[in-house]
Amino acid sequence: MRFCSGSESVHNVVGRCGKLLMPGSHTAGGYGAARILTIIRHVDMALMRVAVFGLLLLPLPMIASAQESKQYQEQPDEFSELNLEQLMEVDVVSINVLGTHTHLEGEWMFAYQFMFMRMDGSRDGTNRLSDSDVLADFPVTPTNMTMKMHMPMVMYAPSDDLTLMAMLPYIKLEMDHVLGPLSPKPGARFTTKSEGFGDLNVGALYTFYRKNFDEHRLIFKAALSVPTGSIDKKDVLANPAQGKQKLPYPMQLGSGTFDLHPAITYVGEMGDWAWGGEVEATIRLGENSNDYTLGDRYKISGWVNWKWTDWLAPFVRIDGEVWENIDGADPDLNPAVVPTADPGRRAGEQIDLLAGVNLYALGGPLKGQRLAIQGRLPVYRSLDGPQLETDWQITVGWQWVF
């Protein structure tokens, strides 16, 4: 019964293990105390969220004062006299096709991104685990997973300082599994698939500080994801006689909750170089209809872009990300069967190195179009495992600005 050991939170023991081990125990005597502890824990989480918001809202007073200073810090004449085509040459390095970027007043952008991610093998902490390591504790282990994501995106800038955006991913997931000695069919393999729209993301990017137009800029992002992605995806598992069963957490397409995605980005640009840094949080609001909340995420990034020629800008980037475990549990999932069904085996931290190129068409029939290719490799991973580890990712993005 290792999955009900002391490391489990009170919430999980009541919500999940309690249900598993002692059906109907929700009315038992110990429930009252456990419920109080659960409430305390939720208050804790709420306080943490308030703290993160406080940090992200800090720049608001600066926005107000920056507005005043902008009154007399007009764009230099050289910028106001440029036409659109020339302006696009100016922002050739700062518009990173795949990263946070803003547009100039009146610009529209249509974009499409394709992302492929491969996960292979499991990890616990920083240690690799073999399939048989995982199968010593679980009847089933995932062996690998692929994610394909198609992401159409639209952006519009009502002013040089404000860019609005919306994007809706279409996701295809595939996960392979093998059964172990704790199962009735050791060595048997099966694959699960799920496919559909993910969560709609809408937001605004606001430049609240700029020096010399775009030599140094600070941008605040306020974005919200709407739970349009399914959290009820099903497929046939190891035993086809049982029909389609609820798929575990990483095979679902959305969070099931409204999520906030606040971020602060710094972008600097000089000559043929652009550089930047970003902090971003994903804050889940409330609990979804399947009685759980995905873990919050915190990300910090830094990058350098170099304009090699007018049409080619390579870049390197480093991302560090921390994400928390799931709070609560889907009552249809049994965490004793497979690690992916355990809400307490989802957290992790990872550092990735990224590199790629941005390509720009400055004239001709492709004028205004941009293309980017980016690869991502992890240099550090520590996971609450056993958990599948991300091995590599490749993203191709196309943009049309007009």
Contact status: 109 vs Cu ion (CB under 5 A): yes
Residue whose CB is less far from Cu ion, 140 or 155:
155
For the CB of residue 119, give the shortest distance to Cu ion in the complex, in Å: 29
For the CB of residue 87, give the shortest distance to Cu ion in the complex, in Å: 14
- What is residue 309's DSSP assignment? B
User: In the numeric block, which tokens belong to residue 367?
Assistant: 């004028």
Residue whose CB is less far from Cu ion, 109 or 341:
109
- Report the distance separating Cα 127 and Cα 125, nearest Å: 6
Angle of the 31-57 helix axis to the 59-72 helix axis, nearest 10: 20
Q: Where in 269-328 is the site for Cu ion (CB under 5 A)?
A: none
Residue whose CB is less far from Cu ion, 206 or 258:
206
For the CB of residue 313, give the shortest distance to Cu ion in the complex, in Å: 15
Q: How many C-beta atoms surround the C-beta of residue 169 within 10 A?
A: 22
Residue whose CB is less far from Cu ion, 254 or 276:
276
C-alpha distances (whole Å) from 143 to each of 135, 322, 378 are 11, 23, 18
C-alpha distances (whole Å) from 119 to each of 14, 32, 144, 147, 163 are 32, 42, 5, 9, 34
Q: Where in 350-389 is the site for Cu ion (CB under 5 A)?
A: none
Residue whose CB is less far from Cu ion, 156 or 275:
156
Q: Is 325 in contact with 373 (CB distance < 8 Å)?
A: no
Instruction: Report which residue type is found at 23.
Output: P
Please compute, for residue 37, the number of CA atoms within 13 A of its CA located in the half-sphere on the CB side. Answer: 12
Q: How many of the chain's residues bind Cu ion (CB under 5 A)?
A: 2
Locate tokens 């992401």: which residue?
151
Containing H/E element for 194? strand 189-197
3-state secondary structure of 139: coil
Residue whose CB is less far from Cu ion, 109 or 237:
109
For the CB of residue 369, give the shortest distance to Cu ion in the complex, in Å: 12
Which of the stretches 4-12, 17-25, 106-114, 271-279 binds Cu ion when contact is defined by CB under 5 A? 106-114
- Report the distance separating Cα 339 and Cα 357, nearest Å: 37
For the CB of residue 154, give the shortest distance to Cu ion in the complex, in Å: 9
For the CB of residue 240, give the shortest distance to Cu ion in the complex, in Å: 46
For the CB of residue 152, give the shortest distance to Cu ion in the complex, in Å: 12
**Residue among 303, 344, 348 nearest 321 (CA):** 348
Rg (C-alpha) for the chain, rounded Å, is 24
Residue whose CB is less far from Cu ion, 325 or 374:
374
Residue whose CB is less far from Cu ion, 166 or 285:
166
Q: How many C-beta atoms surround the C-beta of residue 36 within 10 A?
A: 11
For the window 121-160, what string marks contact with Cu ion as x by the rule CB under 5 A?
----------------------------------x-----
Which spans of this chain sit near Cu ion (rule: CB under 5 A)?
109, 155
